[in-house]
């Protein structure tokens, strides 16, 4: 039987502080806990996803050198403490890739080429990419390599500014032939505060504007979700009974439904 193609999901928003890395970590962890084999690729030079899964930010440990044609991404894959969840860590040197890739041939397709041996090896069902909080060359490489885009959006008034730019770039990536298969899998509202009228108002406005593109699941603001990365754990392992853990598990089910997959086998 032929191998099922890897599903590649970029988690991106060029606006920082919207729960992007938290969403990438917890989606990857929930997918892995459902029985899928998952690779989380930390493409953000800040390396918050790396420390958030308890890995060290080691020089030479990231996708930086492979993106420049030096070595394989397979060599950079590290196991995590969590079943079926592996990672390509990040490091501060990844900042240099923005400059160096701009001078390289096929500079937007470098990550796509690095993923090809992963598909051939049939080691993973999903690749989740934590993109930098910008729309530079690293993020465009992620878009060019991905099948799907998930955009986290904080429940605050400035949220819509970031999403319109991300959607415009997505359209350009498709329309210019860089990656015609890329689609917006969904917008996930994060940091929802049920005590304020503002959060509910923002969610309503986003749903009115973007309709079914918005996931039904809303991620609540939670101190436990915020502190989990400092212990190197996704929220479902740090505090499995927390409302944020339940929300990410439900979001994962909704994501799998959108992909036409079966319910998670937790």
| pLDDT at residue 217, rounded to an integer | 95
| pLDDT at residue 263, rounded to an integer | 59
Q: Which of 9, 5, 1 is nearest to 142 (CA)?
A: 9
pTM of the model: 0.94
Long-range contacts (CB closer than 8 Å, 24 or more residues apart) made by 26-29: 26/225, 26/234, 26/235, 26/236, 26/244, 26/248, 27/128, 27/150, 27/248, 27/251, 27/252, 27/255, 28/85, 28/126, 28/128, 28/234, 29/82, 29/85, 29/234, 29/236, 29/237, 29/248
The CA–CA distances, whole Å, from 115 to 22, 41, 244 equal: 23, 11, 31
**Domain ranges across the chain:** 7-257
Q: Does the pLDDT value for residue 26 go beyond 90? A: yes
170-187 pLDDT, tens digit per residue, is 888 888 888 999 999 999
Q: Answer with the residue of higher pLDDT: 106 or 265.
A: 106
Q: Does the pLDDT value for residue 44 go beyond 70? A: yes
- The answer to whether the CB of 112 falls within 8 A of the CB of 65 is no
92-114 pLDDT, tens digit per residue, is 889 888 889 888 888 999 999 99
| pLDDT at residue 5, rounded to an integer | 85
Fold of 7-257: Rossmann fold (3.40.50)
138-168 pLDDT, tens digit per residue, is 999 999 999 999 999 988 877 676 677 777 8
| pLDDT at residue 85, rounded to an integer | 98
- Paired tokens of 88: 């390509």
- The answer to whether the CB of 82 falls within 8 A of the CB of 76 is no
Tell me how far apart the alpha carbons of residues 55 and 263 are, in angstroms, rounded to a whole number. 30
CB environment 199-214: b (16+ within 10 A), e (fewer):
beebbeebeeebeeeb
Packing angle, helices 137-145 and 159-175, rounded to 10: 60
Of 13-17, 163-167, 233-237, the least confident: 163-167
Handedness of CA 104, 106, 109, 115 (dihedral sign): negative
Three-class SS of 87-106: EECCCHHHHHHHHHHHCCCC
**pLDDT above 90 coverage of the chain, percent:** 65
Tell me how far apart the alpha carbons of residues 21 and 229 are, in angstroms, rounded to a whole number. 10
pLDDT class of 266 with cuts at 50, 70, 90:
very low
Q: Answer with the residue of higher pLDDT: 163 or 189.
A: 189
The CA–CA distances, whole Å, from 101 to 104, 141, 143, 241 equal: 5, 10, 15, 43
- The answer to whether the CB of 129 falls within 8 A of the CB of 11 is yes
- The answer to whether the CB of 153 falls within 8 A of the CB of 187 is yes
Q: Answer with the residue of higher pLDDT: 250 or 210.
A: 250
């Amino acid at each position: 039987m032929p191998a099922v193609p890897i599903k590649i999901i970029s988690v991106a928003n060029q606006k920082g502080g919207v729960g992007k890395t938290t969403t990438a970590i917890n989606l990857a962890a929930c997918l892995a806990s459902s029985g899928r084999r998952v690779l989380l690729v930390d493409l953000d030079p800040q390396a918050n996803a790396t420390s958030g899964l308890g890995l060290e930010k080691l020089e030479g440990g990231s996708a930086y050198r492979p993106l420049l044609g030096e070595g394989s991404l397979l060599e950079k894959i590290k196991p995590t403490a969590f079943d079926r969840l592996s990672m390509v860590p990040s490091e501060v040197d990844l900042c240099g890739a923005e400059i160096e890739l701009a001078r390289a041939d096929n500079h937007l397709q470098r990550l796509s080429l690095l993923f090809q041996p992963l598909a051939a090896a049939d080691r993973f069902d999903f690749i989740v990419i934590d993109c930098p909080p910008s729309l530079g060359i690293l993020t465009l490489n992620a878009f060019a390599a991905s099948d799907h885009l998930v955009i986290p959006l904080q429940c605050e008034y400035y949220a819509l500014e970031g999403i319109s730019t991300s959607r415009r770039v997505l359209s350009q990536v498709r329309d210019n032939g860089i990656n015609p298969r890329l689609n917006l899998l969904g917008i996930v509202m994060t940091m929802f505060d049920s005590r304020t009228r503002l959060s509910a108002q923002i969610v309503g406005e986003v749903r009115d504007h973007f309709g079914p593109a918005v996931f039904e699941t809303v991620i609540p603001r939670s101190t436990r979700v915020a502190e989990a990365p400092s212990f190197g754990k996704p929220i479902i392992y740090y505090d499995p009974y927390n409302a944020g853990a339940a929300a990410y598990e439900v979001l994962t089910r909704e994501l799998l439904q959108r992909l036409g997959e079966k319910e998670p086998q937790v």
